């Protein structure tokens, strides 16, 4: 199971995530977030990552030029969009794209089919102000129906004590965790991180059947990373 640890602001948190087996590390470049990080600090952390770990940048309704300049400067492997970005906007981004979809209530899974297959969808709790990192879960029944149709990253309120249930019910392609492994916004808690990865590993070892997307390569965490 691929895991992305998002909202990284400190090198030591990124290093621990990598040691625990994270496939991707997320950096929030939207200044409205309590997990905001500047490009220079993010670049320094990215330069310390192993080549097999994908750095992902999170953006919210920001100019495409800013997104692409930041991606090039920091060395991002994928871009994650958390605002109201359109299909056309996503199509204009060079490189893998993850599009976060926030749902306030259960919806028709077919509504996600408007998004091209090469754009990886991330399901998160709807929040028009904070745009992620709320600690609230999504509707897992709905998420499971989406995950059965296409490669899906599950986010929203995941913690060590509920991730096994989420995996059993949704069977996503990957997980995205942020607030559930923090001591405060932007500061990861080592024990919570270890407990989360251990819970995922224990579930996979005992109960998780092969994913229908298991043959896809690791870069698909970024979309298409």
Active-site annotation, residues: 6, 124
Q: Which helix (H) or strand (E) holds 149?
A: helix 140-149
For 45, the token pair is 């952390």
Altogether, the residues listed in the chain come to a count of: 225
Q: Please answer whether residues 77 and 222 qualify as being in contact, where contact means their C-beta atoms are separated by less than 8 angstroms.
A: yes
Q: Computed from CA positions of residues 103, 28, 75, 87, in that sequence, does the dihedral angle turn out positive or negative?
A: positive
Cα 44 → chain centroid: 21
Nearest to 115 by CA among 3, 223, 1: 223
Q: Please answer whether residues 118 and 224 qualify as being in contact, where contact means their C-beta atoms are separated by less than 8 angstroms.
A: yes
């Amino acid at each position: 199971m691929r895991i992305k640890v998002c909202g990284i602001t400190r090198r030591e948190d990124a290093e621990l995530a990598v040691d625990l087996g994270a496939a991707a590390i997320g950096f929030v470049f939207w200044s409205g977030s309590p997990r905001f990080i500047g490009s220079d600090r993010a670049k320094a952390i990215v330069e310390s990552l192993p080549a097999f770990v994908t750095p992902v940048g999170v953006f919210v309704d920001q100019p495409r030029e800013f997104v692409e300049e930041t991606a090039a400067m920091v060395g991002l492997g994928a871009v994650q969009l958390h605002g109201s970005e359109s299909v056309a906007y996503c199509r204009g981004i060079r490189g893998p794209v993850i599009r976060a979809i926030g749902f306030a209530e259960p919806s028709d899974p077919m509504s996600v089919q408007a998004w091209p297959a090469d754009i990886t969808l991330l399901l998160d709790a709807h929040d028009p102000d904070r745009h992620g990192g709320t600690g609230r879960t999504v509707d897992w029944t709905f998420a499971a129906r989406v995950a059965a149709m296409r490669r899906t990253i599950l986010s929203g309120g995941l913690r060590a004590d509920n991730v096994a249930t989420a995996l059993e019910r949704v069977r996503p392609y990957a997980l995205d965790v942020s607030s559930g492994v923090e001591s405060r916004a932007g500061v990861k808690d080592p024990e919570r991180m270890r407990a989360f990865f251990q819970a995922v590993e224990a579930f996979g070892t005992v109960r998780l059947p092969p994913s229908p997307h298991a043959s896809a390569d690791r870069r698909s965490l970024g979309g298409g990373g």
